[in-house]
Structure 1
């Protein structure tokens, strides 16, 4: 028996998958239980120069015909269409599917899950969340007997590289992004990364797996890093924190204005320097999974790049190929919990609010009163002294105890209207403390 494999897409990751299929064919066959035959690679343009490892005879622009000729379809095209239609076509004719397409899974994963379940075929997507880091399988399978309560982590290598550069060199955001582009960490259009879209799609996938509840990317609260300044990063370091773009998915109990459910959010946050996430450098990813019985688990490694992502793809490919050879299939979607997906207002965390205020008596009392009006307890206050040449303004840093997101938002609006407050300079959540 031979397992026929079709690859859709021949970019950086697709090329590495082809390379591994060719250079490690004997080992892969031994692990899968049968030879893996690459029957073709679908591309949009046959004239584009490619790595010599990709045999031109394998290239085709007829992706549909290629799908019809395969036992396993590996989708590395990205985007919603035609990837979705091609995967549904593959599933419909009984082919197993391996994909790294976080955008598609985050936007319309349930359509694929249901189709694969009804067809009785495998749908694997380890590479869609954190590159080479084995994260999907542990959450979906290893922790199937436990109750996950929270997932917290860095799931976008580009933004982590940018923020790390800002912290280590003092560069502003634009300069750090340009550096990331020069090194190949960021695309020519970095919007998907710096605005948090990529991280939000991954957060939706992780939340769906962790909480057995369908979560779409539209239900993820998303804030990117475009509002983060070099001054924010410097202040964070001075006060014992690192700025990171975090994905947070957690179960929350019922409140006065919301039922128990799940909150999923992506935003910049302050992480104490003693926390392992604060030490995640360059373009690396790290994710904490908190479970009732297992406790806190950390997954760390390269979250992007051709070779790391191809490694995860090949791991899935060997698994589904083995199922084709020996019978059986992997786990199906688990959405039995059907928990409500709540607005970020239901979340609770700590906050650091930086204000530019008048440097005169009574200011602290007025600021403290605004926090008290909305039930937000202050943990610490720090004043840096005059921040203007005439000496009539000062920077005030307020760190809160854990408080509801909604109460903090109301507090910030109140502060902005005070006569003694010139500017609300920044509001950052504090996680991992």
Structure 2
């Protein structure tokens, strides 16, 4: 599907009519959604034009103690709950991909609007879910899938729908930002900073999805799809995590006037022939200390948008946690419920542009390369010739003493990824280079 085709208009249930809600999952986010729905029920009814009525909550373990929860609402049969006639909206806060996909598709096919916080599901199956929502004339909302309470999905779907987005870059994973910020502020190693993040609850027992960049890559796929009206999936995103970042990298960045962040970067590219494409990538990135993203610390998130007419915009806030995520979920519930009462639909997927996904080797950026080299006359000229052979020009070169050898830190002008990779391979083969310690991109 390359264009969002809206089915027949839905007239709605009518003002004052109740909207039935089913919640799938009662973990950290689901529990907060349930609590806030109860505490603010009167306000929600006014905002929607009719009351929200909780019809049931699907959980995997009925025996688990759940203080304050009406056990009569609980079921371990999610599919039966979804198919109840009195359920209008299904809220999926389970996580994972395969099982939630079956449930969400079943809900959409049954004519229920869906609200999900599941970025992995949306990044992997947005096309299938959007087509099911269109076919059933219902809503698919996923504001909470990217940066929790930061309203970036709504901003791209509605507020900037009349503009042309050129670039989206941001810190979209709180765990990795906390770790890198701790390394920057305390001089801790990656291992020590990860241990502290785990102790404080910022990192999961298995932090792989965060520290390897997978979580951020899912969000990058969603942002690129929305921003460039092109279907971008998780597998289209180049992904590198922070596990190889060292205290020495952090110190070198500081000395050069940068802060090291894990960024998701989504770009509209135009080649020499004027042909456009889309690139999405996640990797450790050097950010100048005077850039707005450099000051985003601890577990906070921020998304920086560059648009043709609006210019540069930044959206900042708490991008993780039960309460912020629940805030975004509830905002979507209110939107979906309002449509159920008054009629109409929210903006759906629109991939009219259908731009090709750029080959990562054709992406251009600047690089910070840290090397150990022989301390002798002629080395700099020899290495400069290798960069020149691959059409890479040097912006700055700094040499420091390092025992019997020397440390050479090079910052390049913009160059193609493929050319940089070939340059690094040639540097490693050169006898003058003892080691290439790090290659880090610049924003």
TM-score of the two chains, using structure 1 as the length reference: 0.97
Which residue in the other structure is 2:125 paired with? 108
Which residue in the other structure is 2:433 paired with? 421
- 2:334 matches 1:322: no
Q: What SS class does the counterpart of residue 356 from structure 2 fall into?
A: coil
CA distance in 2, matches of 1:287, 1:88: 30
Mapping of residues 17-28 of structure 1, within 5 Å: 17-28=33-44
- 2:415 matches 1:403: yes
Q: Is the 8 A contact 1:19 1:53 kept in 2?
A: no
CA distance in 1, matches of 2:72, 2:308: 53
**Per-residue Cα deviation, 1:134-166 (whole angstroms, up to 9, x for no partner):** 000111111111110110000000000000001
CA distance in 1, matches of 2:112, 2:324: 25
Mapping of residues 51-130 of structure 1, within 5 Å: 52-69=67-84, 70-130=87-147
Mapping of residues 28-43 of structure 1, within 5 Å: 28-43=44-59
- Unpaired runs of 5+ residues, structure 1, are none
**Per-residue Cα deviation, 1:379-401 (whole angstroms, up to 9, x for no partner):** 0000111x23xx2x111000011
Q: What SS class does the counterpart of residue 264 from structure 1 fall into?
A: strand
How much has 1:416 moved relative to structure 2?
A: 0.8
Mapping of residues 352-431 of structure 1, within 5 Å: 352-385=368-401, 387-388=402-403, 391=404, 393-431=405-443
**Per-residue Cα deviation, 1:181-203 (whole angstroms, up to 9, x for no partner):** 11111100000000000000000
**Per-residue Cα deviation, 1:185-225 (whole angstroms, up to 9, x for no partner):** 11000000000000000000000000000001001000000
Mapping of residues 10-409 of structure 1, within 5 Å: 10-50=26-66, 52-69=67-84, 70-254=87-271, 260-385=276-401, 387-388=402-403, 391=404, 393-409=405-421
**Per-residue Cα deviation, 1:38-71 (whole angstroms, up to 9, x for no partner):** 1111111112233x23222211100001111210
**Per-residue Cα deviation, 1:357-413 (whole angstroms, up to 9, x for no partner):** 00111111111111100010100000111x23xx2x111000011111111111111
Q: What SS class does the counterpart of residue 274 from structure 1 fall into?
A: coil
**Per-residue Cα deviation, 1:240-292 (whole angstroms, up to 9, x for no partner):** 11110000000111259x95300100000100111111110000000111110
CA distance in 2, matches of 1:229, 1:45: 42
Q: What SS class does the counterpart of residue 130 from structure 1 fall into?
A: coil
CA distance in 2, matches of 1:95, 1:420: 65
CA distance in 2, matches of 1:97, 1:105: 12
CA distance in 1, matches of 2:375, 2:68: 67
CA distance in 1, matches of 2:226, 2:324: 22
Q: What SS class does the counterpart of residue 82 from structure 1 fall into?
A: helix
Which residue in the other structure is 1:6 paired with? 22
